[in-house]
Amino acid sequence: MTGDRQPVDARIAEVEEAVRRYFADTAPQVAADVPEMVREAVRSSAAGRQAGEPRAIRWFRRGVVGLAACAAIVAGARGALYYAPNWAETVYAAVDGIPGAQWLILPQDRGLARLAREGGIQTLDVSATDNGLTVHLSGAYVDSARMVLFLRIDSALWHPDSSRVVVTDQFGHVYRVSSGTWDTDTGAGELTFDGVPAWKLALGLRLTLRIDGMEWLSVDGSQQKQRSGHWGFTWVQNPSGSERTVTVNRSASDGGVTLRLDTILLTPGSAEFRLSGVRSVPTGEDVVARNDDRPELVCVDTGERYPMLSAGTVSQGRTVEMKVMTAPLQPGHRYELIVHRVGEVPGTWVFPFTLS
């Protein structure tokens, strides 16, 4: 696997470090760049690890995601609407009043759907054509937890080869795809990337999306084609709104694993839980979690279970890093985050907290 940071001019790196120090001094609540810590752990692990299990809510192993390997993702969004037609209004809420946008938002991502209805997603109207395919970048949302780009391809059965998709910022930092969803009926889809550190959001972002390959998958998933090309987009990203990081530092132990809920990153579109831990024995073979192994978030006061957007664990030796993302939380309530598996180790780790 290639590194996630491109070589940059030494003077640019020096300026970046100066700006980072400035924001560290003037905005001490800015969260640490945990995504970079995770990427460093991944770079030290075995190459070629598959990522992005083909379901709407993914327990992911970090790595390069190929949508060609995710037929269920490509067809799954429309299938979700077919089996749950009442979700259609929520999923495509952003389309109303924005002709041609066709933003694809999964039903459990209710924070992003709310932002779409309220105008919180930046509308873009840029396109690029190469090798007979036109790609439209119609919207973008960026915060410290994730970057979500909404695209549409005129030929619906084609979609980006996400192993050949990168976003870079003005500092030369590279953001790679962590998941993606595509609708083969409309040609609309979304690609999700790691979030952007808060100090960069405060400074302002100039982003460039580069797609160097497309894939075609038949409806039944039995046939596949590739097409090379160069589709590029550059834009200035608007601020996403206020964020805050809540420090919890609550620990729980089970199965020889001690986990600590370190922080909760609260953004307009989601809540991201960041956990770390230590195992009594080094990591064993990775196991993809079953549906009932996913973490749970429950509001103790109301009994409501919050939708999971993603959850992932990176283990290296005896150390564990975990990130869990859910729909946004409501202040003034008591919650419990419940973890059911850490790598191949089943158990129950419960983290109660109150959000003021």
Give domain limits for the chain.
Answer: 10-30+64-237, 244-355
pLDDT for position 259: 97
Please state, for a pLDDT cut of 70, what percent of the chain lies above it: 67
Q: What's the rounded Cα separation, in Å, for the pair 334 and 127?
A: 45
Q: What percent of the chain has pLDDT over 90?
A: 42
- Does residue 42 carry a pLDDT above 50? no
Strand partners of residue 351:
337
Report the alpha-carbon distance of residue 314 to residue 155 in Å, rounded.
37
Burial of 28 (0-12, 13-18, 19+ CB in 10 A): exposed
Residue 300 pLDDT greater than 60, yes or no: yes
pLDDT of residue 44: 36
pLDDT score for 351: 98
Q: How far apart are alpha carbons 215 and 233 in whole angstroms?
A: 19
Residue of 194 and 91 predicted with greater confidence: 194
- What's the confidence (pLDDT) of residue 285? 52
pLDDT of residue 293: 72
pLDDT of residue 107: 78
Task: Please report the DSSP string for 13-41 in residue order.
Answer: HHHHHHHHHHHHHH-TTPPP-HHHHHHHH
What superfamily in CATH does domain 244-355 come from? bacillus anthracis domain (2.60.40.1630)
Residue 63 has pLDDT above 50, yes or no: no
Evaluate if pTM is beyond 0.75: no
Confidence of residue 191 (pLDDT cuts 50, 70, 90): very high
Query: Do residues 188 and 104 touch, judged by C-beta distance below 8 A?
Result: yes
pLDDT tens digits, one per residue of 268-292:
999 999 999 999 887 655 444 444 4
Check: CB of residue 31 under 8 Å from CB of residue 144.
yes
Q: Give the fold, CATH level 3, of 10-30+64-237.
A: Immunoglobulin-like (2.60.40)
Average pLDDT, whole number, for the chain?
75
Helix and strand element counts for the chain (H, E): 6, 18
Q: How far apart are CA 134 and CA 28, in angstroms?
A: 44
The model's pLDDT over 121-167, given as tens digits with 9 standing for 90+, comes to: 998 989 999 999 999 999 999 999 999 999 989 886 788 988 899 99
Same fold, 10-30+64-237 and 244-355: yes
C-alpha closest to that of 301 among 275, 328, 333: 333
